[in-house]
Amino acid sequence: MSTPLLITGASGQIGRWLLHALLRLEPARPLVLALRDPAVQLESLRRWLSGRGIAGPGLARLAAHPYRLEDTASARALVRELRPDTLLHLAARFEWGLDANEARRAQLQATEALWEAQTDPQGHAGRFVALGGYMTQHRPQLDKLGIHVGRPVDWQRIYRRIGGYEASKLETQFHMSALARRLGRPWLCVHPATVCGHSVEGELPAHAALYALCRQLLRGRLQALPGSPRHQLPLVSVDQVAGFLARLALDPQVRSGDFLLMDPASPPVHDLIRKLAGALGVRAPRLALPLAVMQGLLRVPGVAAWSGASAEGLDFLIQDPDFNTGPAEALSQRWGLPPTPLPQALAATARFVARDCARQPPGTRVA
């Protein structure tokens, strides 16, 4: 029997489509899912996959074990018990306003515990695939924050500056890269841009950035365009991310490296908002505000809750998209993974959010 793959975060947006891709590519491979509520979440995932063409034999190969991001001892024990060939760590705590300790426990400490157990040369020394983020690969932003390899970093200042969620993602990436170099073990991480919905279904969770943006437009809560015409929100479709992760999981030749997934057709954010507004059948704002002004307004009590936006979220808009997508593109070409048309994915995303918002009862909280 094939050795199992262990996946955390399989119930999330990327995780669901990763399961779908894996079961299409290699239906005989056992998949073990580390879930917060295994019985309930596994049944929900089976129904979701069944509704998208995955038949009974593939669903029967899904197994689940309890897992909590904060319980690092149990996480290590689970890895040592299962000895998976490859561990894909997708679980994270996505939430604005996290304090530094909460964020570190959920991101850095959880990742380190799983990685240490999975790559231990005294153990089974399996492959570990982490899910990072595109801002960890954006050198201009790292320079602005004072993050340089081999130099001391004032992480407390960075947590105060950009918030717990993104600061913990940055700290995890640089801590784990340094730890891997020091111990002589591989570090393998995939860094997606902002993820939009599936290119056909458009399905997107309500906490996702593009869902919130579409919802603001639908409800007339976006009063101004953020930033300048040069600002960009790098994008990638969820099917592109899932397809890449699935093939990476099944390719034992790739054991280390950082791979950035970003669609080169990502439009400037003003154009993005206009395209989404057109797909939604609403008007886009005409006024533009500098990011610093908009962030200041969103910190006024009540404004963020009313608008459905976040000051932290605006830090993901960049003016100088200096990224290296070459390594990921080379792997995709070797695997024969075609690119997903971004305009199609954006249109599908807008349609999904419009339908989903229409189903919500009046008075549903926006934020």
What confidence tens digit (pLDDT) does each residue in 231-250 have? Answer: 999 999 999 999 999 999 99
Categorize the per-residue pLDDT at 2 as very low, low, confident or very high, splitting at 50, 70 and 90: low
Residue 347 shares a structural domain with residue 225: yes
Of residues 147 and 3, more confidently modeled: 147
Would you mind telling me the total number of residues written for the chain in this entry?
A: 367
Whether residue 171 is found in the same domain as residue 207: no
Which of 120-124, 222-226, 237-241, 310-314 is predicted with the least confidence, judged by mean pLDDT? 310-314
DSSP line for 146-210 = T--TTS---HHHHHHHH-HHHHHHHHHHHHHHHHHHHHT---EEEEE-EEE--TTT----TTSHH
Model confidence at 158: pLDDT above 60: yes
Do 116 and 200 lie in one domain? The reply is no
310 — pLDDT class (breaks 50, 70, 90): confident
- How is residue 277 annotated by DSSP? H
pLDDT of residue 45: 96
Q: Are residues 184 and 243 in the same domain?
A: yes
The average confidence (pLDDT) of the chain is 93
What pLDDT is attached to residue 361?
64
Assess contact for 224 and 217: CB atoms under 8 A.
no
pLDDT value of residue 93: 86
Residues 177 and 316 in one domain: no
Asked if residue 13 lies in contact with residue 205, where contact means CB atoms within 8 angstroms, the answer is: yes
> 216 and 93, same structural domain?
no
At residue 366 the predicted structure's pLDDT band, cuts being 50, 70 and 90, is very low
Q: Higher confidence at residue 361 or residue 95? A: 95
Least confident of 72-81, 155-164, 311-320: 311-320
Query: Which residues, 6 or more positions from 196, have their beta carbon under 8 angstroms from its beta carbon?
Result: 204, 210, 235, 236, 237, 238, 342, 345, 346, 349
240 and 303: one domain?
no
The total of structural domains in the chain comes to 2
Same domain, 218 and 158: no
**Cα 171–Cα 175–Cα 176 angle in degrees, nearest 5:** 115
Same domain, 43 and 147: yes
* Same-domain status, 360 and 335: no
Same domain for 218 and 159: no
Looking at residue 367, its pLDDT comes to 41
Tokens (6 digits) for 14: 């990327």
122 and 204 share a domain? no
Confidence of residue 98 (pLDDT cuts 50, 70, 90): confident
Most confident of 50-54, 306-310, 322-326, 332-336: 332-336
DSSP 108: I
Domain of residue 85, CATH code: 3.40.50.720
Give the domain range for residue 209: 196-235+263-321+340-367
Residue 191 has pLDDT above 70, yes or no: yes
Residue 135: is its pLDDT beyond 80? yes
Statement: residue 26 has pLDDT above 60: yes
